[in-house]
Every structure is written in structure tokens, then in C-alpha cells.
Amino acid sequence: MLIAGRTRDGAGRVIACDNDAVAVRIARDNLRTPLLFTGSVDAIAPHTVDLLVANISPEAVIALAPDFLRCLRPRGLALLSGFEPGEAPDVRAALPGGSVLNLLTKGNWALLEWRV
């Protein structure tokens, strides 16, 4: 889970979710954050997130894009990865509003920086 980096770099309030209960259990055993649950971004209150980090398939990013927009605060930033550079145009097209700041690639992987 990507929460480890956020808790270690001094981020304030961190909310983390994963639909894999085993991943959540392992993270809970290794990290100290009370806001860790099995579930999805659809359970996070609207406009409460400054930074959203997701490393999931392009299909999941596309399906969850409206929920990402809903939970991000104005000027919020999303770092979206877990897809190949050739899939980035489809991911970008699915992002409602906002703007893509950057597309970073490394080997067969891509990361989109998206600001609402």
C-alpha cells in the first residue's frame, strides 16, 4: 500500500483504503494510522483530500475517476499510476475537469499528475 510513504514523510492526516483485506491487515500491523479500512474511495467524504495516490489498473482509474474528483479538495492533486504509457491517453480522457500536470514514465509504467 502506498500509505507507508505518506505516513513516513510527515503527512498530517492520512486516509487509506484497499479492497484487499489482507493488504489492509498487513498495513495496520506495520503502520500507525487510525484511518485505514477495507473498501474504496467511494467511502471517503467529499472534498476532504489534498493528495490522492492510487496505483491501480487503468480500468479502475477510469471507473473511479468521478469518485477521485468528488473526494479531492479544490486544487487537490492526484498521483495516478499502475498503467502503461500507451494506456495514459484513455486514463487522461476519463478524468473529469482539472488538468494533467505531467505524465512520467519509467520502463513500462506511467504516472499521471492530475490537479483539480
For 81, the domain range is 46-116
Residues 6+ positions from 25 with CB-CB distance below 8 Å: none
pLDDT at 93: 94
Higher-confidence residue: 97 or 46? 46
Residue with cell 479544490: 74
Q: In 3-108, where do the E strands start and end?
A: 16-18, 36-38, 49-55, 72-83, 99-106
28 and 7 part of one domain: yes
User: Could you tell me the pTM of the whole model?
Assistant: 0.80
21 and 71 part of one domain: no
Give the pLDDT confidence of 91-109 residue by residue, as tens digits. 999 998 889 999 999 999 9
CA angle 19/20/25 to nearest 5° reads 120
Please give the distance of CA 48 from its chain centroid, rounded to a whole number: 13
Residue 58 parent element (H or E): helix 58-71
86 and 54 part of one domain: yes
pLDDT at 13: 65
Amino acid identity, residue 53? V
